[in-house]
Structure 1
Amino acid sequence: MSRRPGRTRLLLAAAAAVSAFATTPIWADAMKPLAYPDTRRGTVVEDHFGEKIADPYRWLENDVRSDKEVAAWVERENAVTRAYLDTLPQRGWFAARIRELIDYERFGLPVKAAGRYFYTRNSGLQNQAQLFVRDGLNGTPRLLLDPNSWAKDGATALDAWEPSDDGRHLLYSVQDGGSDWRVIKVLDVKTGQPLADEVKWAKFTGIAWVGNDGFLYSRFPEPEQGTAFQGRNYDHKVYYHKVGTPQSADQLVLETPDQREMNHTAEVTPDGRYAVITSSTGTDNRQQVRVIDLSRRKTDGWKIRMLVAEPKDDWKLVASTGTNLWFVTNQNAPRYRLVVADMAAAQPQFRQVVAERGDLLERATIIGNQLVLNYLKDAASHAEIVSLDGKKVRTLTLGELGTASGFDGKPGDPETFYTYSSFNQPAAIYRMDIATGKSEPFAKPALKFDPAKYAIEQRFYASKDGTKVPMFVVRNKAASQAGKALPTLLYGYGGFDVSLTPGYSAARMAWLEAGGAFAMANLRGGGEYGKEWHDGGRLANKQNVFDDFIAAGEYLIAQGITPKGGLAVQGGSNGGLLIGAVVNQRPDLFAAANAQVGVMDMLRFDRFTAGRYWVDDYGYPEKEADFRVLRKYSPYHNIRAGVDYPAVLVTTADTDDRVVPGHSFKYTAALQAAKVGDKPHLIRIETRAGHGSGKPTDKVIEESSDILAFLARWSGLQTPAQ
């Protein structure tokens, strides 16, 4: 498995540029409406199952890098937004405080290979984390990779990385400008010098060593000129690259030409015995599973054996022991169980080792001769150790409401590392002796705030249909005890089987320090309670997600946690769709909203890059039944002219090739053109940034301070400097 380090500014924003495009002063008086740049309306009208639907801003789907009209629109919009944001008195305080709160030494989980320990470290304000190695646990750290030297703007990042078993080489992938495309390279660990190897056009890939002289990866064909950042991706294939050879010599391991939409991810078991390839057509956790016995590669080559032919269930590889392959699966177990199959059998059958429980089994690892099981209970982590026959050995003591991750290693290892974090606790890393279960700190951050000042609660509220939905609420203890209503930032996602769990954010801590409250709702559509929770918020059930979020906001006001007129909301990607939809449906409920890199046109989402995968959660726009559902909540198509909207800040990036920025461009243009009140409805378009991962620290600070200042201004949050 590949290791990934922890991971969100504006260059065009000169206030002087505004006068060239606006006809009246911009926010000279805080209550006068903004003058937005003129946006050309096209004449596109299409028939969808008998309904004529206009798409006047279709031209904004064009690539900003190649279309001059779109680029000019971006520049005008950024200029207006920048001029407005620079007037906000809260912005300077947030920028300074977020910079202070993020300026602490941060480590990634160590990975051991042949006595060497590899890990990432950011000294505090570095744009990208560096990769270090130690010879022995207490050896002197030696810098191996410094992504900060790769690009002047800090926007080229180290993505996944993996040392070879003998510790001689490091396999790593490079991400540029936030794009999903990756370049894979190899480093000589002893000299610190990169080899000539370079693999291009890798995407949605794992990187997995086969022995010590080659690796498996997945890639698409090289895209046609001008289509790399918007064209749909088909024909994903798995290749083997032998170190020291050109990419043109790579061996094709798996392709499915009769199923061009399939994606394939290759992993190698920690003991190196088996390669396991999982294949799926969308975002649903339903895969085929193929296995290659690497111990027989010299005689059998890349002989593939189908283990699971029907893609009906989720199969998460754990490890292999001898000829046994271990998986965590939701086959006949919506909240997952642990099974094992003997690959020596002519027809391998899965045998249950740990049965499904009430809590969600997220993952398992084999360390030493024991299993570490990671569970999720009401969106908070707990873990336990069991023997290989499933008998409980001990429960690991973690914090009450937090997130634990890691526990990687191999059968026979005496140790493992894990990280624990919460809303008031940046990630700390611990080393655990697997035999005794004793943990000791490997790296704990020095804090620049007092975590004891903040109370973390978990509450359960009723959604529209009566379903109980969990929500974390974080507030200053004194304010909580006094029953004081605080301007509140409510965050949600609700989709793709993704679980939102407690974690630290310098931006959120700055919001809390400014006197606000933070809430995170675990909406249906996520994975917090397994398959039934996911199914409850997708396809025809997608409205449940919006109802859950609206009910969360109503609850916060009814309980006196936030005052009426003090609720700010935020979500990204699928969560950006969430914000767009709920603002349309309940504009009266929210004071301010931030929709980040959102999916805003639900009738065309599947026509760009990775969008075709999302039909598992959203449905097919070309199928009438699905279209009827999508049409009802699509943010772009349901803006309500004549109704007062909250203040809205849309944020996206020019090189987002996951959710292409055209979604946000079109939605913003429609919002600005509609008569939806005098509060600002703006878009902030980042340059040389993508969907979020790999964003340099400077850009994270700049963007976060812009967003929080905007939300604070309209929710009534007064920063200490005011």
Structure 2
Amino acid sequence: MRFLSLAAILMATTACTTTMDEPGKVPQVDPVSAMEKGAPIIAYPETRKGDVVETIHGVTLADPYRWLENDVREDAEVAAWVEAQNEVTDAFLDTLDGRAWFKARMTELYDYERIGVPTEKGGHYFYRKNDGLQPQSVLYVRHGLDGEEKVLIDPNLWAEDGATALAGYVPTEDGSKILYAIQDGGSDWRTIKVMDVATGRIHDDEVEWVKFSGMDWAKDGSGFYYSRFPAVEAEGKFTGLNENQAVYFHKLGTPQSADVKVFARPDRPDLNNIAQVSDDGRWLITTSSSGTDDRYEIALIDLEQPSAGPRVLIPGYDWNYSYVGNVGSDFYFITNEGAPRLKLVKMDIRQGTPEKVTIIAEDEATLDGVSMVGGKLIANYLVDAKSEIRVHALDGSLERKVELPGIGSADGFGGDMDDRQTFYSFSSFAQPATVYRYDIASGKSEVWAAPEVAFDPADYSTEQVFYTSKDGTRIPMFITRKKGVEGPVPTLLYGYGGFNISVTPGFNPVRLAWLDAGGAYAVANIRGGGEYGKAWHDAGRRFKKQNVFDDFAAAGEWLKANGVTTRDGLAIEGRSNGGLLVGASINQRPDLFDAGHAAVGVMDMLRFDRFTAGRYWVDDYNYPSKPEDFRYNLTYSPYHNIKAEIDYPAVLVTTADTDDRVVPGHSFKYVARLQEMAGPEDEPMLIRIETRAGHGSGKPTDKIIEEASDVAAFLAHFTGLSVPASE
């Protein structure tokens, strides 16, 4: 059964002196000119400064770029600013010799067949596959494991620009129908439809206003459960707060207006509410949460007696209880109650107040997930951020470990209790995902799908080191290089550090291109993530957020002190919460880092909770409405801590117009402030704004390559990475 988590569920200067004649009109300037040394001077577009000044909790702050929070699709002035910024950025990127080489190499590296882990239902095997450079992966089905594959859903036919994606799918128990979600332009909003597997016929059923939702069929295939928000007006669809999520049942063959609301909490509009059907089909398990922390209230609805209403099984919002599966009345949950690195417990729901019996006790390793397949419990552990798979009997006794190829990440192991096999994938920094079939009785793995790639994974090496942070905490870090690359080399350091999310080894053609150019790639497993369980997360959130930035700085210091990177050759990169990490790190340690890429970052730590999903993030980011929280956030907020006369490294910010997770206004305001403070000879402070794209998911392959090659060329230029000459 699925292991659900709701976590893992922010006055350009100027060389231009022209004034703005009217809102929505940005002066046209020559964006790049040459200095005597050949380095470009950036003539940034002029950015209007507003007069917003507020006193909050006794602190008076100006917010001159508040107007850049407006939706680019609805505000002509913001749209003109975006166009002008992209023109400046493109003109600068055109001067970089490495841009063409990175694009060519990344295109070559992406051009391999990628196959996902299959799901079996009713003898049908469903899986995604991308032939190589297809914008979106295609959903296939095989009738029998060795049967002929058939295209079931090809999202590449949905939009000319390839920006409409298949966001998820769930087959019925007999495999005769499939429920699938459509994502357009990178938005978090989803549209759900139903297809007949045998004929390919798309049913008339269509469900909208779905976001942050599970999807699950009734066991008899009569309909499905999903979560949705109330419909909103077009204006504000991509920026307004998401509240009043409720669980509905859609009966096949009926309009969405007839859907039945089966679970809601109108007394708590802030709650997220999702649901899944128990393994035996008897119960609907609802999971409610108020933020991004794994702190849930669990309720059960008896689908044989739905009029009885929900029964709260796990009250309050204190602990992580994530449903794994059930055998009759015995329900299995992963929990961190009394076990910071998690354990598996069993409860007999026939009891009024069920006893929580420990089945798999807490371990020194972190329990990252459990599945119930073939009468076994398959537990996925993180051992210093690397996967280790252990197979247990239902009583929790350890039977064996699954032999993995090395340092990497294993995912999958789905299925049902009567299955004799399951599937999983394994990948690492230089090893694309290979899919294995695992025989549950014998414990043997065999390759089911292995990619053919334009490189030899054996040409690269990964080591794990441990370094000491500012307060003495021991932090792990992976370092990957191409074999034969000697001495200090320009290095790209990546980090995340938040929301209990673990950063584990995984393959990315973008990173391999950096290695092929002669650089090194490092991943620091800093606090705030989930690599070592709840305590590791707690040590990097709310009033301990500064630990995250200290851990990242210590990683950079270690890389320079130990001869991995050159004196002026350390670039940093992060996405989303990692974009916040980059912004704060550049503000705090401009002397240490030599270039930065902040992608879709949260940059205004005083207003993040006012847009879309931002209100959930208070579990990690504090409550700006509270005086103490507000003042702490002000100490590191990237937008508010940019200062004049500081020699900042070169910065490239990337975001997208349809990002309705971290709204692009965060990045707009941050860059406007950077440009305002930049001197005429300072390094570039640029922003690249993608259209018809969102927070990252659903982005077509060609857009991924275009953006990644721009970023890599920028970071290579400012770290001294000598990119091979383009052919």
* Cα-to-partner distance string for 1:383-419 (whole Å, 9 max, x where unaligned): 0111101111111111331000100011111010001
SS of corresponding position for 2:722: coil
Checking the alignment, whether the CA contact within 8 Å between 2:479 and 2:521 is kept in structure 1 is yes
Cross-structure match for 1:455: 461
The amino acid across from 1:400 in the alignment is: G
Aligned pairs for 1:246-285 (under 5 A) are 246-285=255-294
Aligned pairs for 1:160-309 (under 5 A) are 160-211=168-219, 212-294=221-303, 296=304, 299-301=305-307, 303-309=309-315
Checking the alignment, whether the CA contact within 8 Å between 2:31 and 2:87 is kept in structure 1 is no
The structural deviation recorded for 1:304 is: 1.6
The structural deviation recorded for 1:573 is: 0.3
SS of corresponding position for 2:635: helix
Cross-structure match for 1:534: 537
Cross-structure match for 2:9: none
The structural deviation recorded for 1:323 is: 1.3
Cross-structure match for 2:28: 21
Cross-structure match for 1:665: 668
The amino acid across from 1:702 in the alignment is: E
The amino acid across from 2:672 in the alignment is: A
Change (3 A) 1:597 1:271: same
Checking the alignment, whether the CA contact within 8 Å between 1:26 and 1:83 is kept in structure 2 is no
1:702 aligns with 2:706: yes
Cross-structure match for 1:719: 723
The amino acid across from 2:628 in the alignment is: A
Aligned counterpart for 1:576 among listed residues 573, 579, 582:
579
SS of corresponding position for 1:208: strand
Change (3 A) 1:24 1:407: closer
SS of corresponding position for 1:26: strand
- Measured in 2, the distance between the counterparts of 1:271 and 1:409 equals 13
1:685 aligns with 2:689: yes
The structural deviation recorded for 1:301 is: 4.3
- Measured in 2, the distance between the counterparts of 1:395 and 1:199 equals 42
SS of corresponding position for 1:665: helix
The structural deviation recorded for 1:721 is: 1.2
1:501 aligns with 2:527: no
1:472 aligns with 2:475: no
Cross-structure match for 1:525: 528
Aligned length: 703
Checking the alignment, whether the CA contact within 8 Å between 2:164 and 2:698 is kept in structure 1 is yes
The structural deviation recorded for 1:127 is: 0.3
SS of corresponding position for 1:81: helix
Change (3 A) 1:572 1:25: closer
Aligned counterpart for 2:648 among listed residues 639, 645, 655:
645
SS of corresponding position for 2:103: helix
Aligned pairs for 1:320-719 (under 5 A) are 320-479=326-485, 482=486, 484-675=487-678, 678-719=682-723
- Measured in 2, the distance between the counterparts of 1:137 and 1:627 equals 56
SS of corresponding position for 1:137: coil
Cross-structure match for 1:157: 165
- Measured in 1, the distance between the counterparts of 2:362 and 2:629 equals 33
Cross-structure match for 2:49: 41
Checking the alignment, whether the CA contact within 8 Å between 1:2 and 1:161 is kept in structure 2 is no
* Cα-to-partner distance string for 1:433-467 (whole Å, 9 max, x where unaligned): 11111111111111211111211010100111111
* Cα-to-partner distance string for 1:51-103 (whole Å, 9 max, x where unaligned): 21000000000000010000000000000001111111001000000001011
* Cα-to-partner distance string for 1:147-205 (whole Å, 9 max, x where unaligned): 00001100000011000001111001000000000001100111112100000000100
- Measured in 1, the distance between the counterparts of 2:267 and 2:402 equals 47
Checking the alignment, whether the CA contact within 8 Å between 1:316 and 1:363 is kept in structure 2 is no
Percent of aligned pairs sharing the same letter: 56
The amino acid across from 1:249 in the alignment is: A
Change (3 A) 1:631 1:494: same
The amino acid across from 1:159 in the alignment is: A
SS of corresponding position for 1:427: strand
The structural deviation recorded for 1:23 is: 4.8
SS of corresponding position for 1:557: helix
- Measured in 2, the distance between the counterparts of 1:424 and 1:319 equals 34
Q: Which runs of 5+ in 2 are unaligned?
A: 5-24
- Measured in 1, the distance between the counterparts of 2:432 and 2:116 equals 12
Change (3 A) 1:492 1:688: same
| Pairwise CA RMSD | 1.5
Checking the alignment, whether the CA contact within 8 Å between 2:115 and 2:127 is kept in structure 1 is yes
SS of corresponding position for 2:497: coil
Checking the alignment, whether the CA contact within 8 Å between 2:248 and 2:261 is kept in structure 1 is yes
- Measured in 1, the distance between the counterparts of 2:29 and 2:310 equals 63
Q: Which runs of 5+ in 1 are unaligned?
A: 5-17
Checking the alignment, whether the CA contact within 8 Å between 2:3 and 2:322 is kept in structure 1 is no
Checking the alignment, whether the CA contact within 8 Å between 1:131 and 1:144 is kept in structure 2 is yes
The structural deviation recorded for 1:315 is: 1.2
Checking the alignment, whether the CA contact within 8 Å between 2:475 and 2:524 is kept in structure 1 is yes
The amino acid across from 1:517 in the alignment is: A
- Measured in 2, the distance between the counterparts of 1:19 and 1:368 equals 63
The amino acid across from 1:643 in the alignment is: I
* Cα-to-partner distance string for 1:356-396 (whole Å, 9 max, x where unaligned): 01100111111111110110010000001111011111111
The amino acid across from 1:694 in the alignment is: G
Which runs of at least 4 in structure 1 moved beyond 4 Å after TM superposition?
Answer: 1-4
- Measured in 2, the distance between the counterparts of 1:352 and 1:311 equals 20
- Measured in 1, the distance between the counterparts of 2:614 and 2:551 equals 25
Change (3 A) 1:300 1:635: closer
SS of corresponding position for 2:675: helix
Checking the alignment, whether the CA contact within 8 Å between 1:273 and 1:320 is kept in structure 2 is no
Checking the alignment, whether the CA contact within 8 Å between 2:26 and 2:46 is kept in structure 1 is no
Checking the alignment, whether the CA contact within 8 Å between 1:611 and 1:659 is kept in structure 2 is yes
Checking the alignment, whether the CA contact within 8 Å between 1:27 and 1:34 is kept in structure 2 is no
SS of corresponding position for 1:630: helix
- Measured in 1, the distance between the counterparts of 2:663 and 2:201 equals 36
- Measured in 2, the distance between the counterparts of 1:64 and 1:550 equals 34
Change (3 A) 1:181 1:25: closer
The structural deviation recorded for 1:20 is: 6.2
Checking the alignment, whether the CA contact within 8 Å between 1:31 and 1:678 is kept in structure 2 is no
- Measured in 1, the distance between the counterparts of 2:324 and 2:179 equals 21
* Cα-to-partner distance string for 1:266-288 (whole Å, 9 max, x where unaligned): 11233423221110000000000
Checking the alignment, whether the CA contact within 8 Å between 2:3 and 2:324 is kept in structure 1 is no
- Measured in 2, the distance between the counterparts of 1:477 and 1:271 equals 51
SS of corresponding position for 1:633: coil
Calculate the TM-score normalised by the size of structure 2. Answer: 0.95
Change (3 A) 1:564 1:325: same
SS of corresponding position for 1:118: strand
The amino acid across from 1:513 in the alignment is: D
* Cα-to-partner distance string for 1:572-609 (whole Å, 9 max, x where unaligned): 00000000001000111111100000000111000000
1:58 aligns with 2:62: no
